[in-house]
Amino acid sequence: MLEHIIYENDKKEYIVLLHGIGGSSRVFFKQLKAYTKEYNVIAIHLPGHGKSAKPQDYNERFTLKLVADEIKRLLTSLKIDKAHFVGISLGSIIIHTILQYHPSIVKSAVLGGTITRFTPFSKLLINLGDLIKNVTPHMWLYRFFAWIMMPKSNHKNARSVFIKEAKKLRRDDLLAWFHIAKSVDKTHKFLEQKAKGIPRLYISGREDHLFLDPLKKDLANDQDAELIVLEQCGHVCNIEKGKEFNQASLQFLRQNSQHIHHAS
């Protein structure tokens, strides 16, 4: 079972929060107060993070589909048929996977710092990481990718949060995620057909230099998708531009909720 934290009140609808590689529910510290005013919130720790099962604990091959199945299983155990999903970075990849295999559990989705596919430069970095992963301390590898993805001075806070959280991640767990992240291209393929009618809001920073251009191209003709680009903002947009992220995501979530409750 996946470790999770439930922030429950008298609200009817649920938001499920999904963090990035090496992250935790703490990466949503700027969202929790705003979200819990209007929704019940479930923050899930993905496999290998917190006290959740480790990728090596499963009797089957560790894949993105397995993670999506685990999240569905958790919601079923909590008697939650449908929820809104909010994911950052890897969390957005997991949401795309859920939309591929379990679209019926998704009311709407907010995807921050979304990765739909890797550019040739990104693939070069992934291949480089693959070559040196067995002879390099895993935190060096993580820091390297964090600096490549978030190189600017205004990315420093988000970069620091992710590196601090990643220190709790075991080497085997990080490498397991690193391995399956390479299959990201498949998660957006056929998404428009499989998740037809499910509204999706994508929020990315203008300075998300590895992933923004492919995302814009992939969403160009997607009728269920809306893209908001935040200026002077990098990959981890929910931390760098918390206020703007909250405003945009809550407006979208309200539009797709049965209860329209504007918190004071």
Dump pLDDT digits (tens) for 96-129. Answer: 999 999 999 999 999 999 999 988 888 888 788 7
Distance CA 238, CA 193 (A): 28
CA within 13 Å, CB half, 97: 25
**248 within domain boundaries:** yes
Per-residue confidence at 33, pLDDT binned at 50, 70, 90? very high
**261 within domain boundaries:** no
Judge whether 48 and 11 are in contact, CB under 8 Å. Answer: no
Mean pLDDT computed over 213-236? 96
Q: What is the pTM of this model?
A: 0.92
Distance CA 210, CA 193 (A): 26
The domain total for the chain is: 1
Highest mean pLDDT of the ranges 21-35, 158-172, 227-241:
227-241
Neighbours of 115 (CB within 10 A): 26
Predicted confidence (pLDDT) at residue 147 exceeds the cutoff of 90:
no
Domain that holds residue 48: 4-255
Share of the chain above pLDDT 70, in %: 98
Mean pLDDT computed over 231-260? 93
**94 within domain boundaries:** yes
Q: pLDDT averaged over the chain?
A: 90
Torsion angles phi and psi, residue 45, rounded to 5: -95, 120
> What CATH number does the domain containing 141 carry?
3.40.50.1820
**260 within domain boundaries:** no
Distance CA 55, CA 175 (A): 10
Residue 262 pLDDT: 47
Distance CA 92, CA 94 (A): 5
Higher-confidence residue: 212 or 125? 212
